[in-house]
Amino acid sequence: MLKNKVGKLKTFTVDYSILKNNKIINNSIVMQSINDPDKIVRLAKLDISTKERVFIQNVKILRFKSIPSHEHNLE
């Protein structure tokens, strides 16, 4: 899915909320995706539901923010 756009991947931090065992849990993950909000949300929901072992319907993406990449060598 993202293999064709390897050079255009950006790193994002994604804040999310899930309902697990009748408790609301807030957390965040760091992921790489292309700069398309729909794809970021879809991939984040899939990753989070797999990681947290909850149904994808119980995952709510609160916000996501791009992490600036530092490609400069400081040598």
Work out whether the CA dihedral 53, 60, 29, 34 comes out positive or negative. positive
The pLDDT value recorded for residue 69 is: 74
In a domain, 19, yes or no: yes
In a domain, 38, yes or no: yes
E strand map for the chain: 10-20, 23-33, 59-67
The pLDDT value recorded for residue 51 is: 94
* pLDDT, tens digit, 9 for 90 and up, residues 14-25: 999 999 999 999
Amino acid symbol at 70: H
The pLDDT value recorded for residue 4 is: 58
The pLDDT value recorded for residue 70 is: 64
In a domain, 74, yes or no: no
CATH number at 53 reads: 3.10.20.10
Q: From the CB of residue 38, how many other CB atoms can be counted at a distance below 10 Å?
A: 7
Per-residue pLDDT of the chain (75 residues; tens, 9 = 90+): 555 555 689 999 999 999 999 999 999 999 999 999 999 999 999 999 999 999 999 999 999 999 987 654 444
